[in-house]
Chain A
Amino acid sequence: MMELDLNILQQLGYIFSAILFIYGLKMLSNESTAARGNVVSSIGMLFAVLVTVIEIVNPVLVLSAVLLGALIGSAFALKVKMTSIPEMVALFNGFGGLSSFFLAWSEFNNFSVISLIMILSFMTVLIGGITFSGSVIAFFKLSEILKGDNNFLNKASRWFLIFSILFVIIAVIQVIAGGLGYELIDLALIQKTFIALLIISLLAGLAFVLPIGGGDMPVVISLLNSFSGIAAASAGILLTNTALIVAGCLVGASGLVLTVIMAKSMNRTLYNIFFVGYESSGSSAAEIDGEIKPISAEDAYLVVEAARSILIVPGYGMAVAQAQHVVKELGDLLEENGCEVSYGIHPVAGRMPGHMNVLLAEANVSYDNLLEPKDINPTMETVDIAIVIGANDVVNPSATEEPGSPIYGMPILEVHRAKTVMVLKRSMASGFAGVQNPLFFKENSRMLFGDAKESISKLVAEFKD
């Protein structure tokens, strides 16, 4: 009787924590309540953990593991630079997947007869394993340790994925046949299949993410975010634990929504991103008319100083140069000078959804001044100067003007329609998409070469003189 009461108490606790998770996410839909929403969600987590530890089996092991995790997690959270959040999220996606992977593995070892429930542990291990190893590759690509594109490796990856799918189908058939009492299939065989599946799922994660280019990373980490939730939900069904199911589904849905938003903002289908990639555009790049017109920081100051309305368009280059604080300083000086300053934020600028917003929030830019392409494009002609800071593909006019271009149809910030465009750029290298950008060759474009932070600091210094 006592056992039963404990179980009911736990279930009630999980319902309460599910309410807190849901309410926390709801509060995240508004900037002013978002921080409290995060606290509400964390109380939900605390509650779910507390009602679970009532009947703990091995307190020493549990406590030391939680302490170790708390230590590592807190160190990550307090040390990480805002520019490196994409890497951290990628890594944490992987940890979530890995935790489900171990959970399902441990649960599988408890089976003493063949049961259809085993399929759930197969599924969890598969999704968890792919999430983990895929996220590790995404992490290496984001931190630019892993670069380049290897044609042989890409082809091999595709074939391995096909092999993995076949293997999973065979594994599931084995369990079903065994579960129905087919004699040739015994527990020992299924255990061997499971071990093979552990390895294959990890390799499949590598094969899945390796061929995907750096420019598609915002989509990839959104999808892996979703996978880490689906793995947890799947583990929840395996363990008949409602807390895991509800929380896992919320995360799975969240990642899915972001994945779709990212893919739409790039005007690409998920199939195209994951299985085709950008075709190398080859020779068409050479046919751009016009010439590059470099500008010095001194001349740039004179242009900027005379402007009445300025749009700042940040991209990944701003993050790399850690230029968000000087950008804010320049914005303030311009406003004191009587100029209207706004910021154009493209959904896929940077390496993850909302990346630019976080950097500008860190620099204390008010989020009322941040505009999306649909807000700013209709009035682009009234902008005196669009200052593009380390963004490339998201301002590439080929997307609207050149039907043959690989990025044709992608919604962009149409800065080429502003009176003047000033592009801050390290060199003439093309963006992640590997597509040339005709913007740089337009009549109204000026190029300010150099590190974004240095260039803007020079402008700021000129203002102060």
Chain B
Amino acid sequence: MIDIKELTWQGLWKNNPALVQLLGLCPLLAVTSTAINGLGLGLATLFVLMGSNITVSAVRHYVPNEIRIPIFVMVIAAFVTIIQLLMQAFTFELYLALGIFIPLIVTNCAIIGRAEAFAAKNDLLPSAYDGFIMGAGFALVLVVLGGVRELLGSGTLFSGAELLLGAWAVDLKITFFVPDNPFLLAILPPGAFIGMGLLIALKNILDPRLEAKFAPKPEKIVERARVTAES
């Protein structure tokens, strides 16, 4: 049985791989200089996460417990190689822009974490959905952080969308202002750290409000009614 609502809530917010588990911070901080870079790496990670979750879940009964980690890593590495070759073939400029961080998806702890914590214990369909929604949560943070840094640093949003989506996407670029002195801090690595810290703080502020609204309510556990009155 898939509890879609619970899985979605966990992946996108409650247990978000980037904001709460703080996994995969290296690519998260390194490539988010623009929203499109973030989206590219986010989609690649999402694909790998789904693929590895499905495969791990499918073979989980045949994998000896003692050597499961190397096998999971092999599976992940295979999917990363696929995505790397695909990106090299179809989005070559984005492939160049992301550089070393595509092969480094192998080392993203969020992926092996989900394989070990979820896929290795659950059926195929829930695992696939978990991979998808966790990947989506990761990609979402990448895009938001990239967008904020791009907006502060160069005053644009979605510049370079054509690298990912094809020539028509040139028009997606929104220019808010053209800074005479670009705010370099936002584009440089320290901006990523500060921006990430502020995003986590924002999440912690929003938490109590959203929790009340969206979190799946725990079922009421009916305790045995008291039959004898206190005397």
A-B interaction: no
